[in-house]
Structure formats: structure tokens, C-alpha cells
Chain A
Amino acid sequence: AQKITQTQPGMFVQEKEAVTLDCTYDTSDQSYGLFWYKQPSSGEMIFLIYQGSYDEQNATEGRYSLNFQKARKSANLVISASQLGDSAMYFCAMRIYSGGSNYKLTFGKGTLLTVNP
């Protein structure tokens, strides 16, 4: 069974500083993808960044980068130059691509990020 662990219920960061949100995962499958989503208070899940298990380079999308350490089974999200609008819940999720999988997303419990002015 797949499992995502986010150990930081809440994080605080000063505006314009960088912040790292932790995510560890557990799976015995070799082919999988890791996702980060942002959920503001409105409820919509906004896709931020994706890392495939066979990708050799860490994914980057604008101010977002994913620090992928396969041996440690971690996929931390780094947000550079934090903005007030980054305040939200952040979820790490995993999808398995093995045969027979229905490709569901398995989510962690989330981290509430607060950006202070």
C-alpha cells in the first residue's frame, strides 16, 4: 500500500524568504509520480509541480522546485521568494503507474503554510 507522510502540520515563513515543505513516501513500486498541490481556503486543489520516479533531474516550475531524494524516499517542495498569496494548505501526493493500478492519487495530510509580511 502507498503512503504519504507530511510531518509539518504548520509552517511559518517571512515574505520573500524560501521555505521547504517536507514529504516522505512509501511504496514498493518502481514506477510512480509525485505531485504537489496547493489548496487555498476556497477549496480548489491547484497543481504545482510533478516529479516522475525515473526523472534524474529535480523538477522546477517557476518559484517551485522539488527536492527529490529517491533513496530516502523524500520529495520536499521548496518555495523561493515567498509571497503573501502563498499562504495555503499544501498537499503532497503520489500516483503509482504499475500494471493494474487505477492511478489514483494518494495524498498526505497536508501542511498549512502561513507567509508573514
Chain B
Amino acid sequence: DAGVTQSPTHLIKTRGQQVTLRCSPISGHKSVSWYQQVLGQGPQFIFQYYEKEERGRGNFPDRFSARQFPNYSSELNVNALLLGDSALYLCASSLEARGVTEAFFGQGTRLTVV
């Protein structure tokens, strides 16, 4: 069975540009969450989506947005990129939005802003 897949795996963008990251959850999982992990830190929560609705948002500026599609895949968009947006972006899928379910992570997208 396929795990959580993210694309692209690596990305280099210039300050001020926009970027879209993609995530396909494990088959049957309806919840997708996005995390940002800067070098030397633990992941920080950005968004959670369940059944195409936003269920949670972390402390990130409005330049960050996301959506979930009918097939439960998700996109994370970041506008007006800053150097500080350089990080590993992780997507996690869960069977449900709530409950004692573990989150399975993809390998992430390494974004470098120059």
C-alpha cells in the first residue's frame, strides 16, 4: 500500500514568488495536516483539513493557504515567499480528524527560497 506521497521532493524559489506543494494521503484517510520544519527545530503545525474543510490553523501568516480536494489530496500554497520560508514541509494523513489515531507522514518537500 502506498504511504503518504508529497511532490515535489525538492524546490528552489526566489523571494516574492509563489509555491504550491502537493500531498496525497494514505488511501482511506480523510484528514490531512501540514507542518513546517525549519532546520534544527521540530515541526510546527500549519493546517489541518478534514472532509475538505479547514479544521485547524497554526500561527502562520495569511500568505499560507491550503485546500483539500474530493479525493482527500491536499495542496499547500505560499505566496510572496520570504527567505524564512525555507524549510521542510511535511504532510501527515490520519484516518479521522479526531480520536486516537496516529499520523502518518510523507517524506516532505524541501523548499529553499533564495
Contact = CB atoms under 8 A, between A and B. Distances in A.
B43 A45 contact: yes
Interface string A29-49: 000010101000011111100
A57 interface: no
Contacts of A42: 107
Interface residues of A, number: 24
B56 interface: yes
Contact of B100 (A33, A47, A104, A108): A33
Contacts of B43: 45, 91, 105, 107
A68 interface: no
B107 A44 contact: yes
B63 interface: no
A104 B108 contact: no
B98 A103 contact: yes
Interface of B: 33, 35, 40-45, 48, 55-58, 88, 90, 92, 97-98, 100, 102-108, 110
28 contacts: A33-B100, A35-B102, A37-B105, A43-B108, A43-B110, A44-B106, A44-B107, A45-B43, A45-B105, A47-B103, A91-B42, A91-B43, A97-B98, A97-B100, A102-B55, A102-B57, A102-B97, A103-B48, A103-B97, A104-B45, A104-B48, A104-B58, A105-B33, A105-B45, A105-B92, A107-B44, A109-B40, A109-B42
